[in-house]
């Protein structure tokens, strides 16, 4: 049995679907029973509950040969670090209580750094440290770079303001990855018995993109070839994020992460290699997820 947290999310759903397609027994763990019902119909066992409830999670993990964990993320949280600590402790307790011995962890590039990376330090660095306390458990820390789908999350802003905007320098190359490639790497790890102790796998996507370049690709896909990218001043970016539902706390963490990406702090020491490069390009993601301009009009 393979237990998958975040099974109704971007990465988790693709993990569950891939495992089911390969005939593997899967327990899909999420919060919303209605969202999980579709995965039950596809053949998964389901477990619905709050990830902050260690008792629920321990039952959901029990009997699994390997589990996939992630830190659920709530942009409206007024105390992001506190909430992440509560969820992260529940996951560690649940692994201990359930007796599970192998854990594939959805973390992030830059999670080795203790500070200065916004969400990454506040959530994923801290969680890697917590999980590191476990004894007798093999951990595979998957550290993907920024998800390409995050660029698409800016579309409502593009529609409202006529430009794409974020907190990252327009001309700094940033590695970006499609969630389908993250899920594929997670599936490989979940089905492999070739990792032991604590192992780290960084995933850098097909190539680096500057935000200006990613915006040109996005613009072409939505029929706005002249779409521009602007790096907003920190205060303006925080205001825009708060209008979109972020708390002041999470908006500030987003801007700090943008600064870290702009300053090149979040890097893989050994650079890009065939092992950390994955196939899917941004062009592939937009053509799969967005209607072509003629379909949209
Ligand atoms: N975005 C990036 O660029 C990036 C890059 C590297 C790493 N990451 C990491 O990737 C992770 C997010 O992965 P994703 O994008 O696949 O997630 P996602 O699409 O946001 O989905 C989150 C999943 O967790 C579930 N969930 C949320 N809150 C929960 C709670 N309190 N209890 C139980 N389940 C809960 C959701 O269930 P519901 O459907 O019921 O809400 C959903 O299944 C985060 O830890 C993030 O830090 C992100």
State the maximum Cα–Cα separation within the chain, in Å, rounded to a whole number.
57
264-287 burial code (b ≥16 CB/10 A, e <16): eebbbeeeeeeebebebbbeebbe
In this prediction, residue 291 carries a pLDDT of 75
Question: In angstroms, what is the span from residue 222 Cα to ligand 1's centroid?
Answer: 26
Count CB-CB contacts under 10 A for residue 78.
11
Ligand 1 center–CA 111 separation, angstroms? 16
Q: What gap in Å lies between CA 21 and CA 29, rounded to an integer? A: 18
Which residues form the pocket of ligand 1, taking CB atoms under 6 Å from any ligand atom?
6-12, 30-32, 35, 50-52, 70-73, 106, 108, 123-124, 144, 146-147, 150
Residue 226 has a pLDDT of 95
pLDDT of the residue at 294: 60
- Provide the pLDDT for residue 293: 60
Ligand 1 atom index nearest CA of 120: 47
Q: Which domains does the chain have, with CATH numbers?
A: 2-145+179-203 (3.40.50.720), 207-296 (3.90.25)
| Cβ(231)–Cβ(254) below 8 Å | no
Residue nearest atom 39 in ligand 1 by C-alpha distance? 8
Residue 12 to residue 7: CA distance in whole angstroms: 4
In this structure, are residues 254 and 260 in contact, taking their beta carbons and an 8 Å threshold? no
CA of 7 to the centre of ligand 1 (A): 9
Residue 71 CA: nearest ligand 1 atom is 45
| CA–CA distance, 227 with 290 (Å, rounded to integer) | 16
> What is the 11 CA–ligand 1 centroid distance (Å)?
8
Question: Which atom of ligand 1 is nearest to 30's Cα?
Answer: 34
Q: pLDDT truncated to tens, each residue of the chain (297 aa)?
A: 999 999 999 999 999 999 999 999 999 999 999 999 999 999 999 999 999 999 999 999 999 999 999 999 999 999 999 999 999 999 999 999 999 999 999 999 999 999 999 999 999 999 999 999 999 999 999 999 999 999 999 899 899 899 999 999 999 999 999 999 999 999 999 999 999 999 999 999 999 999 999 999 999 999 999 999 999 999 999 999 999 999 999 999 999 999 999 999 998 778 999 999 999 999 999 999 887 766 655
Distance 71 CA to ligand 1 centre (A): 6
- Give pLDDT, residue 268: 78
Q: Closest Cα to atom 1, ligand 1: which residue?
A: 147
């Amino acid at each position: 049995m393979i237990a998958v947290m975040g099974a109704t999310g971007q990465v988790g759903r693709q993990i569950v679907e891939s495992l089911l397609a390969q005939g593997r027994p899967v327990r899909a763990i999420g919060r919303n029973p209605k969202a999980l019902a579709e995965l039950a119909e596809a053949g998964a066992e389901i477990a619905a509950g709050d990830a902050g409830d260690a008792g629920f999670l321990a039952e959901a993990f029990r009997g699994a040969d390997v589990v996939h964990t992630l830190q659920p993320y709530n942009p409206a949280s007024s105390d992001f670090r506190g909430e992440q600590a509560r969820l992260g402790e529940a996951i560690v307790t649940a692994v201990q209580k359930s007796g599970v011995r192998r854990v594939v962890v959805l973390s992030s590039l830059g999670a080795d750094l203790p500070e200065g990376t916004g969400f990454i330090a506040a959530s994923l660095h801290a969680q890697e440290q917590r999980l590191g306390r476990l004894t007798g458990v093999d951990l595979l820390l998957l550290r993907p770079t920024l998800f390409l789908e995050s660029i698409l999350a800016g579309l409502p802003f593009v529609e409202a303001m006529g430009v794409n905007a974020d907190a990252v320098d327009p001309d700094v190359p940033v590695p970006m990855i499609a969630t389908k490639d993250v899920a594929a790497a997670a599936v490989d790890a979940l089905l492999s018995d070739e990792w032991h102790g604590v192992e780290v796998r960084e995933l850098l996507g097909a190539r680096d993109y500057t935000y200006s370049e990613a915006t040109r690709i996005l613009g072409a896909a939505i029929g706005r070839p002249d779409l521009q990218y602007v790096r907003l001043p920190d205060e303006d970016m925080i205001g825009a994020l708060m209008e979109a539902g972020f708390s002041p706390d999470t908006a500030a963490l987003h801007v700090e992460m943008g600064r870290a990406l702009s300053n090149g702090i979040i890097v893989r020491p050994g650079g890009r290699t065939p092992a950390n490069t994955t196939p899917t390009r941004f062009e592939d993601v937009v053509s799969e997820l967005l209607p072509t301009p003629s379909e949209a009009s």
